[in-house]
Amino acid sequence: MIYAANLKCNHTRSGFLEYAGELDNKISGENVIVFPPSNAFLEAKFKFVQGAQNFYPCDSGSFTGEIGAAMLDEFGITTVLIGHSERRALGEDEPFLKAKFDFAKQKGWDIIYCIGEDDITHMNGSTKEFLTDQLENIDLEYENLVIAYEPIWAIGTGKSANSAIITDILDFISTKTTAPLLYGGSVNEKNICDIKAIKNCNGVLVGTASWDAKNFINLIKA
Ligand code: PEP
């Protein structure tokens, strides 16, 4: 099982240092990835993998406000999140996501690529067509790819998709790729055991329930 924590815009550097120490003390063999805000990247090595929530597809250059590969290299970061719905909502469209994917692939980075439908698409029953389009731009055979299915209507709402929906969608995605599949959307300490039991579910991407180290540790240990 992969346990990935998306800290989003939470934790300062000192806050993350504390978080990282607490988490590191409590995990041993689990496959844990944490995506802190980029200002809080740490140079120390931990038992979890440190990943980048965002990057610009460049090594370095005139891209005001962005972070390129050179900045990730400094912290030994080779795991990136691409396609999160909150980045898509800020304007990251399919051509840009493709550019990010291709850049990360060319670097050989581990990619967690997020896909997921909004409420209207879910309600009108066209989720699978929607996801198929979202997967069109990426190489589904890339060896370092993980796909995270994150229905937008379940993110940050406290209302996870139910097991039947997750099973159906992960089964569907698994007909297209052998990449490990994660589920994300209001995963917490209470529902993690049901989600872990789902066939084709290789892990979870956790937002809110990962921001406090103790909550995230409890979820991992559940
Ligand atoms: C996310 O934003 O990736 C996410 C899954 O958030 P939450 O766990 O808060 O729904």
Q: Is 5 helix (H, G, I), strand (E, B) or coil?
A: strand
What per-residue confidence (pLDDT) applies to 157? Answer: 96
Return the ligand 1 atom nearest residue 188 CA.
Answer: 8
Contacts 24+ apart (CB under 8 A), 177-180: 177/135, 177/140, 177/141, 177/145, 177/147, 178/141, 179/140, 179/142, 179/145, 179/146, 179/147, 180/2, 180/146, 180/147
What per-residue confidence (pLDDT) applies to 167? Answer: 98
Query: Mean pLDDT across the stretch 37-51?
Result: 97
Query: How confident is residue 186, by pLDDT bands cut at 50, 70 and 90?
Result: very high
What per-residue confidence (pLDDT) applies to 184? Answer: 98
Query: How confident is residue 110, by pLDDT bands cut at 50, 70 and 90?
Result: very high
- CATH top class, domain 2-221: alpha beta
**Helix or strand holding residue 213 (H, E):** helix 213-221
What per-residue confidence (pLDDT) applies to 216? Answer: 98
Query: Mean pLDDT across the stretch 109-118?
Result: 98
What are 2-32's pLDDT values in tens digits? 999 999 999 999 999 999 999 999 999 899 9
Q: Give the binding-site residues of ligand 1, using a 6 Å CB cut-off.
A: 6, 150, 155-156, 184-187, 205-209
pTM of the full predicted structure? 0.97
What per-residue confidence (pLDDT) applies to 128? Answer: 98
What per-residue confidence (pLDDT) applies to 10? Answer: 98
Where are the domains positioned within the chain? 2-221
Asked about 122 being catalytic, the answer comes back as no
Query: How confident is residue 69, by pLDDT bands cut at 50, 70 and 90?
Result: very high
Max Cα distance, the chain (Å):
47
Q: Are 68 and 44 in contact (CB under 8 A)?
A: no
Asked about 94 being catalytic, the answer comes back as no
**Helix or strand holding residue 88 (H, E):** helix 85-89
Q: What is the end-to-end Cα distance of the chain in Å, rounded?
A: 12
What are 139-171's pLDDT values in tens digits? 999 999 999 999 999 999 999 999 999 999 999
Q: For residue 60, which of 42, 74, 81, 46 has the smallest C-alpha distance?
A: 74
Return the ligand 1 atom nearest residue 206 CA.
Answer: 8
**Helix or strand holding residue 127 (H, E):** helix 127-135
What per-residue confidence (pLDDT) applies to 215? Answer: 98
Q: Are 195 and 182 in contact (CB under 8 A)?
A: no
Query: How confident is residue 43, by pLDDT bands cut at 50, 70 and 90?
Result: very high
Looking up tokens 């190489």, which residue turns up?
139
Q: Compute, in angstroms, the gap from residue 148 CA to the centroid of ligand 1.
A: 11
What per-residue confidence (pLDDT) applies to 148? Answer: 98
